[in-house]
Chains A and B, each alone.
Chain A
Amino acid sequence: MDKFLNLLVAGTALGSIYALVALGFVVVFKSTGTINFAHGGFVLLGAYLTYNYSVTWDLPFIVAMLMAMATMAILAVILERLVLRKLVGQPAFTVIMVTLGLLILIQQVQQSIWSTEVLLDDPWGTDQWELGGVVITQVRFFTVLFAAIVVLGFFLFFRFSAWGVAMRAAAIDQEAALAQGISVARVFAISWAIAGVVAVVAGVMLGADSASVNSTLSFSALRAFPAMILGGLDSPLGAIVGGVVIGVTEVMTTGYIEPNAEWLGQGFHSVMPFVVMIAILVLKPTGLFGSRAVERV
């Protein structure tokens, strides 16, 4: 039982990171219809920028993270403006290839600036608490807490703010939104900026979870992809539920299935999320909460 609870805690922490990454995918897809594979690159760059501001420049960690968020938001908006805006109306396949190209570009930029893996110097502290046999590390505690804060902020924004309502309207009917005087161009820009901001939090969490910030972060981020698909491409709530489901699935697979089924080989935990995703899509092609079927590309 203790093992199960410990794995559940670890899985929830990992899952809340996936939820944040998936949220970044979803917010862009919902308003612009683009599946942005470069988002993995945003996560990677967000973690390195935070490292740069906090360790290299020696700024307080929270300040560093806020600066990284601002940088990523601006960068995301520039990319949208310069590259993706030109692709409006192009086939989904073209757009996806371009975002994949951007991902590779971002990875190269990261490699040429920071060629090695780096440490964030344990900004959360290394203590841990024990609650009746369940170990909760400070890192995991802060991971879940930060994810919860971001998610709460996200929902408050979309539920109550003028731009939040405008963005939901634009996601339903772009032309009708334009007719109300809502600038859809700005809706696009804001959704990309939000994706950039959320990516920084996800990147820092992922870096803390895997103990170092390194170039594989963008691939770890793409492991959140099944979370987004199984939650339903256009549902923020689905991204969160999907993220936690995938995180817990992954950790449980490591804890229970891999030790008992060695013939599956190592690393089956990273395959399992896709198995779950396919199983759910067979039963419900729009995902758990989505309204649009996943596009065939």
Chain B
Amino acid sequence: MVEHADDDATTEPILRVDDLEVRYQDVIVGLSGVSLEVARGSIVAILGANGAGKTTLLRAVTGLLPVHRAKITRGQIVLDGRRIDGQSSTAIVRAGIAQVMEGRRIFGELTVDENLRTGGFTVRDKAATAATHAKVMGWFPKIAERRGQRAGFFSGGEQQMVAIGRALMAQPRLLVLDEPSLGLAPMVVEQIRQIIVDINAEGTSVLLVEQNASMALSIAHRAVVLENGRVAREGSADELRNDEKIKDLYLGMGTAGRRSYRDAREHYKATNAAAAARAGAAQVGDA
């Protein structure tokens, strides 16, 4: 294990994924050569279509690959200067990564408080746990009112708040969220968006997987586009927001029908060429 001096630690990203390859059942490649960084205190969004490898990347980071009979076959994952690839999910939560899973996955038969308790399972410090619990209750007054009730009967938005609160109970340095806006009403999505901004403002770094690219890009500092298990594009959120191809593919502003970033690139090459050809033809006509 590498010890870092304090000045070094400030420049070291909180999470570094290096040339990662993941295989399912030793055969199917889920990720291939994926590298990315989450700078300390930042929000990084992962965009991509279904099957692009977003969830696989999160499973690799959070140690849940074995549940899906997958494993890391190349590369490394480093949290705060410490390698965590191949470690158990318990060790990874202890190291400082908590996650909000896709579909919320709260424990429906347990009460809100019990759900939060499972989230703080790895924290041994009782006083710290009580403080975090109070903070979560303050953030989510809606679920605080119903803390003794079974969480399974809550609305989608409230369940998402339970799920986020549960993850925060682990007192993470990096919070990983998988499609937190999925299946929620626009107003609730806006609430969730604001919550993520607030959590980040308190110093927690965020890795956000989203299909709702406009929401993700509106709060992220940087973004990575995954496609077929590879990084297809990477840049600051501003850059990606103004990228015609991204607009076309993920922001629903362009012509429909293209399924991949590469398709979009080809499409723009073709249309640009056609435009150039038209311009050329017009010049010829003028002459």
A residues near B (Cβ < 8 Å) are: 162, 165-166, 168-169, 172-183
Contacts and interface: CB of A to CB of B under 8 A. Distances in A.
B121 interface: yes
Given A165-B110, A180-B118, 9 more contacts: A166-B121, A169-B118, A175-B64, A176-B106, A180-B119, A180-B170, A181-B94, A181-B122, A182-B118
B94 A169 contact: no
Contacts of B88: 183
A169 B110 contact: yes
B121 to A, nearest CB: 5
B109 A182 contact: no
A181 B105 CA distance: 14
Given A165-B114, A166-B118, A169-B107, A181 B64 contact: no
A183 B94 CA distance: 12
A178 B107 contact: no
15 contacts: A165-B118, A168-B107, A168-B109, A169-B115, A175-B101, A177-B107, A178-B63, A178-B90, A179-B99, A179-B105, A180-B122, A180-B166, A181-B93, A183-B88, A183-B90
A179 B90 contact: no
Interface string B96-114: 0001010001111110001
Nearest to A180: B118
Nearest to B94: A181
Contacts of A179: 62, 64, 89, 93, 99, 101, 105
Interface residues of B, number: 27
Nearest to A172: B107
B88 to A, nearest CB: 7
A162 B170 CA distance: 14
B282 interface: no
Contacts of B170: 180-181
B67 interface: yes
Contacts of A177: 107, 118
Nearest to A175: B67
Nearest to A89: B69
A172 B119 CA distance: 15
Contacts of A182: 90, 118, 121
Given A178-B67, A181-B170, A173 B105 contact: yes
A177 B93 CA distance: 11
B215 to A, nearest CB: 23
Nearest to B88: A183
A177 B109 CA distance: 13
A173 B107 contact: yes
Contacts of B89: 178-179, 181
B247 interface: no
B221 interface: no
Contacts of A176: 101, 105-107
B147 interface: no
Given A165-B117, A177-B118, A172 B108 contact: yes
